[in-house]
Amino acid sequence: MTNLRNRTVDCGPDGAGIGCAELLTTDAVKVYVFPNEANATNQMDVWGADAFRKGAVVLSYLGTKTGAAERERYNDVLAKLG
């Protein structure tokens, strides 16, 4: 992953305001950690096919040029995490 940035400041009411607890961004994917699975599920409903969720973690591909094969690789890594 290239261009890793901690954007957690954007999670709160003064930022993106989507209620995440942590946010890391790269050129290929944005990694959102939500306080609970319900919040993560709600955000997945908004992003649909441009995201992947496991537990309270959501990978978002909105605004990226990440291809299907690369998305699948990232999704598989998240799915295998404990």
* Each residue's pLDDT tens digit, 23-41: 999 999 999 999 999 999 9
Q: Tell me: the pLDDT tens digits for 66-80?
A: 999 999 999 999 999
Is pLDDT of 10 > 70? Answer: yes
pTM: 0.90
Edge-to-edge strand list for the sheet holding 57-60? 5-6, 22-25, 30-33, 57-60, 51-54
Average pLDDT, rounded, for the chain: 91
What pLDDT score does 18 carry? Answer: 82
Query: Among positive and negative, which fits the CA dihedral 16, 12, 78, 46?
Result: negative
